[in-house]
Homo-oligomer: A and B are copies of this chain.
């Protein structure tokens, strides 16, 4: 007979909440269980292990990032919008990028985000491997900002730093597109 106190949705929601407030160290199976008014072992009926919870939580937060319409404005504006939206997400969920260092969190939501950014680069004029490299350059910089801005070095307004670097990258990519030395 199902008691159904727990569901996958509730578990993921509680996990994201715990991660946001307590950090990755704060997410323990016992903490998670007690926050759900249950026990650690009960969680294991719904979920394989802690790794899967992290994967589900990652999928949830990647889903928060909006994917702008492809043919709305220029590729620079589209890339800037995606980068700032992703950056805002990493600020809301500061555990995600650090966790990526330890767990393979290449979830479908991440893949959709990457594909969308790649499509923008292709629409800008990049083809084949160059399009992937352009996409990866932007992505690496934004995710790197979540590391460098968070725990390393003197804290500053990361929004300014992000858009300074982003503009440099976009200018450099534009130079390559128009064949400027």
Using a CB–CB cutoff of 8 Å, the interface residues on chain A facing chain B are 24-25, 97-106, 110, 114, 130, 132-134, 136-137, 139-145, 147-153, 156, 160-161, 164-165, 167-173, 175-176, 180
Q: Which residue from B106, B134, B143 sits with its C-beta under 8 Å from A144?
A: B143
**Interface majority SS (helix, strand, loop, mixed), chain A:** helix
Give A126 Cβ to nearest chain B Cβ, in Å: 11
Q: Which of B102, B136, B148, B151 contacts A140 (CB 8 A)?
A: B148
> Known: A133-B160, A152-B106. Is A172-B176 also a contact (CB below 8 A)?
no
**Chain B, residue nearest A139 (CB):** B148
Each complex incorporates copies of this chain amounting to 2
Could you tell me if A137 and B100 are in contact, using CB atoms closer than 8 angstroms?
A: no
**Docked-complex contact B114 and A151, CB < 8 angstroms:** no
CA distance A73 to B99 in the complex (A): 39
Is there an interface contact between A168 and B161, defined as CB atoms closer than 8 Å? no
Structural contact, B103 and A151, CB atoms closer than 8 A: yes
Enumerate 26 A-B pairs (CB-CB under 8 Å) in ascending A order: A97-B101, A97-B147, A98-B98, A98-B102, A100-B152, A101-B101, A101-B150, A104-B151, A104-B152, A106-B152, A110-B152, A133-B160, A136-B161, A136-B165, A137-B141, A139-B148, A140-B144, A140-B149, A140-B161, A140-B165, A144-B145, A144-B148, A168-B172, A169-B169, A169-B172, A172-B175
